[in-house]
């Protein structure tokens, strides 16, 4: 990565995260400083995982070991179903069980928590919360409560390693 690539990466990260800016917590300059400092640290981290994240391979690369230009390209070998917006693959029995378990779980929730579960299922939780007129601390409290209920119901395996804030900041 050259300087222009790094600057572009930092600007992109800041633009993507600016929806989380809360003027009640800090100035935009402070917010931007934190975002950029954290991204610089992760870009410079020596871990293989982060290095792999920054490696780009053209989908026009030929898959032939000897450089045969008639060989299939990487892009041609990847099915469209595995593209950018592909759904993660789950076997049918897990998908069916998940749908049944989640439906049963949602049926046990109060109407208020069911509403929050719908908000959390939205593509953009922040936007859904804003549209519903809800404060971020309320969202975090309800998320924590729902996660606890999910654990009690024995469904935490479906959540995987999704991080959440355990308590709202005041």
> Tens digit of pLDDT for each residue in 3-32?
787 888 889 889 988 888 999 999 999 999
| HSE value, Cβ hemisphere, 13 Å, CA-based, for 164 | 20
pLDDT range class, residue 34, cuts 50, 70, 90? very high
* Res 167: pLDDT: 45
Enumerate the domain spans of the chain. 1-57, 92-158
How do the residues of the chain divide into helix, strand and coil, expressed in percent and rounded to 5?
A: 60, 0, 40
């Amino acid at each position: 990565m050259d300087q222009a690539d790094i600057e572009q990466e930092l600007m992109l990260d800041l633009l993507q995260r600016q929806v989380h800016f809360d003027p009640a917590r800090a100035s935009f300059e402070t917010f931007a400083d934190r975002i950029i400092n954290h991204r610089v640290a992760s870009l410079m981290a020596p871990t293989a995982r982060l290095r792999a994240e920054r490696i780009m391979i053209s989908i026009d690369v030929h898959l032939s070991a000897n450089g045969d230009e008639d060989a299939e390209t990487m892009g041609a070998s990847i099915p469209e179903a595995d593209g950018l917006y592909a759904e993660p693959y789950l076997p049918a029995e897990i998908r069916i069980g998940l749908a049944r378990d989640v439906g049963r779980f949602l049926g046990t929730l109060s109407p208020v928590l069911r509403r929050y579960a719908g908000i959390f299922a939205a593509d953009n939780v922040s936007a859904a919360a804003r549209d519903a007129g809800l404060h971020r601390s309320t969202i975090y409290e309800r998320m924590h409560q729902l996660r606890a209920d999910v654990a009690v119901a024995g469904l935490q395996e479906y959540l995987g390693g999704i991080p959440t804030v355990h308590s709202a900041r005041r």
